[in-house]
Amino acid sequence: MGQPVMQWQILARDPDTLTAFYAKLFGWRVNTDNAMGYRTVDTESNRGINGGVWPIGPTEGHPLVQLFVEVHDVAAYAAKVEQLGGQVLIPPQTLPDGDQLAIVLDTEGLSLGLMQRRA
């Protein structure tokens, strides 16, 4: 079955400016019509993957890009991350749309998302 990379996410200090930038640059379409007010980004292409933008506060780290990997059991994979020397930053959460998500760090300190679509 595999665990595919499903989307990218940019952590941004100024999400509005950033999404406007990419909309003008590539024509990407941004939609926030969801319970988390999440900026989904549609690249308007049949190839590649889509993404999203999430805000970060002014004192928290720096803007970066994350990848989201789809797994069949977020909690199990979060535990596996720790067994393998990684770290769980945000434990598994259930989003309003039913998807599950956790944020982890790999052994290089890079953060990535573990996600599971709602059944």
Binding site for other proteins (CB under 8 A): 6-7, 9, 11, 15, 32, 34-38, 40, 42-46, 48-52, 54-62, 66, 68, 89-91, 93-99, 101, 103, 105, 109, 111, 113, 115, 117-118
- Strands of the sheet containing 29-31, edge to edge, are 29-31, 39-42, 50-55, 5-12, 64-70, 111-116, 100-105, 87-94
Smallest separation (angstroms) from other proteins to the CB of 95? 6
Whole-number Å distance between alpha carbons of 48 and 107 = 26
Smallest separation (angstroms) from other proteins to the CB of 69? 10
> Closest CB to other proteins among 69 and 80?
69
